[in-house]
Amino acid sequence: PPEPLQEHFDATIAHDRRIEPRDWMPDGYRKTLIRQIAQHAHSEIIGMQPEGEWITRAPSLRRKAILFAKVQDEAGHGLYLYSAAETLGADRADLTERLIEGRQKYSSIFNYPTLSFADVGVIGWFVDGAAICNQVPLCRSSYGPYARAMVRICKEESFHQRQGYELLMTMMRGTEAQRAMVQDAVDRWWWPSLMMFGPPDDASPNSARSMAWKIKRHSNDELRQRFVDMTVPQAEKLGVTLPDPELRWNEERGHHDFGTPDWEELTRVIKGDGPCNAQRIQRRRSAHEEGAWVREAATAHAAKQAARAAK
Ligand code: ACO
């Protein structure tokens, strides 16, 4: 690249200022952002499925309305993120094709089944809690449109997290059977939630570069630790046990020690071999195909409007 452009880019990053769509940026920076933002957008859209399955089975009108709102928020997050990817020159239709063909990833967490209504609460508490830990620092990401999209997303995620915790508090005040449902959901979602933060730092090929570019602000292991430290007191208050015999407070470190997630399981799920991968993609593919007429109608309408305006 011409030297002044590279220098200007480096100085912008060094001074914690934002890179904007029209600024010159290295190819690698653009590619990394498109990869991460697209994966993030896909996660929001695929993430509508596990909870969406419970909308028709919610135990009350109030819970149904809350769940509806939450799943709609996730669609909205996906749309802001696809828009952020478009500012980098990515094409939204192409990104969707890549997702459906398995050429682009989405978060491992959404490949696990939701077996009871307690799962809706635990997803709010763990999965949205993990999302907050991971995403609050992304509000300071070096790429302007991504960082700004994250501000609103994080506000909504914190509402999602609270609704999950409140749902679980209600169930814990219920019957013995309801408390058992909550504990069972906690047991199933704990380890996959820790895996959301990605592989351990020494096995994370992208981290060093993304941190140097200030796209990522903290390493995968730092954020995982933050999540564990935040969640342990919440579990105590709720009255559930986190399924990790190695979990204990380490006075010296000022953090909780915890066991090692099954990294082979994470690799398998990322590669497409998790409990629900095939089902999630199949569902996304049919929603896309069944929506073809809407896209055609919208395109025809836009063309008509443009022709009218040109007259
Ligand atoms: N699920 C699926 N893929 C993952 C996961 C995961 N939990 N963790 C890591 N990976 C992938 C990475 O995308 C990368 O693949 P790629 O190089 O083919 O793109 C590979 O595994 C190696 O991992 P890292 O080098 O650690 O990758 P990266 O630096 O991108 O860090 C992380 C991964 C932490 C997920 C990062 O991309 C990120 O912060 N993304 C934004 C947040 C996000 O996407 N959240 C989605 C779930 S939250 C929600 O939607 C509610």
**pLDDT one digit per residue (tens) for the chain, 311 residues:** 668 999 999 999 999 999 999 999 999 999 999 999 999 999 999 999 999 999 999 999 999 999 999 999 999 999 999 999 999 999 999 999 999 999 999 999 999 999 999 999 999 999 999 999 999 999 999 999 999 999 999 999 999 999 999 999 999 999 999 999 999 999 999 999 999 999 999 999 999 999 999 999 999 999 999 999 999 999 999 999 999 999 999 999 999 999 999 999 999 999 999 999 999 999 999 999 999 999 999 999 999 999 999 98
Q: Which residue's alpha carbon is nearest to atom 38 within ligand 1? A: 36
Q: Please report, in angstroms and rounded to a whole number, the separation of the first and last CA atoms in the chain.
A: 44
**Ligand 1 centroid, distance to 229 Cα (angstroms):** 21
Q: Which residue's alpha carbon is nearest to atom 14 within ligand 1? A: 206
- Pairing mode of beta strands 255-257, 248-250: antiparallel
- Report which residue type is found at 14: A
Contact 201, 207 (CB under 8 A): yes
Q: Which residue's alpha carbon is nearest to atom 24 within ligand 1? A: 204
pLDDT number for residue 1: 65
- Residue from 107, 110, 193 whose mutation best tests the ligand 1 pocket (most atoms within 8 A of CB): 107
**Ligand 1 centroid, distance to 56 Cα (angstroms):** 31
Q: How far is it, in rounded angstroms, from Cα 268 to Cα 270?
A: 6
**Ligand 1 centroid, distance to 74 Cα (angstroms):** 18
Task: Say how many C-beta atoms besides its own lie within 10 A of residue 110's C-beta.
Answer: 26
Give which of 5, 31, 26 is closest to 89, Cα–Cα: 31
pLDDT number for residue 311: 87
Extract the tokens encoding 69. Answer: 């709102």
Which ligand 1 atom lies nearest to the CA of residue 77?
Answer: 50
Q: Which residue's alpha carbon is nearest to atom 18 within ligand 1? A: 105
- Residue 292 is given by DSSP the state H
ipTM above 0.95, yes or no: yes
- Tell me the CA distances in angstroms from 217 to 85, 141, 206, 254, 309, one per residue in order: 19, 7, 13, 21, 46
pLDDT number for residue 3: 81
